Amino acid sequence: MLILAGFAVLFVVVAAIAGAVRVFGWDPSWAVAWRHSWHEAEYRIGGGWLALRDRVRRRPPARYPPRGQRPV
C-alpha cells in the first residue's frame, strides 16, 4: 500500500508541475508534436469505428421477422 501511495503522490506532483508549466506558457515543441500525434490517432481511430458501425448497420433486414413483430 505504501508503494501505491508513493506512486499516487508522484503522479500528483508531476501533474501539478505539468499544469503549472502549461499555465505559465512554456510549451516545448516536442509536447506540441506529441499532442498533435495523439489527436490525429484519435481522429483516425474514431473514423474507423464509425465505418465499422456503418457497415454493421447496413446489413439487409432478416427475411423473416421474429415472432410477435409484423413485417415491414
Q: Output the pLDDT for position 55.
A: 79
Q: Are 72 and 61 in contact (CB under 8 A)?
A: yes
More confident residue, 71 or 26: 26
pLDDT at 72 over 70: no
Q: Output the pLDDT for position 36.
A: 94
- The string of pLDDT tens digits covering residues 3-29 is 999 999 999 999 999 899 888 888 778
- Fill in the amino acid letter for 51: A
Q: Output the pLDDT for position 65.
A: 64
Q: In the chain, which ranges are continuous DSSP H helix?
A: 2-23, 29-57
Check: pTM over 0.75? Answer yes or no. no
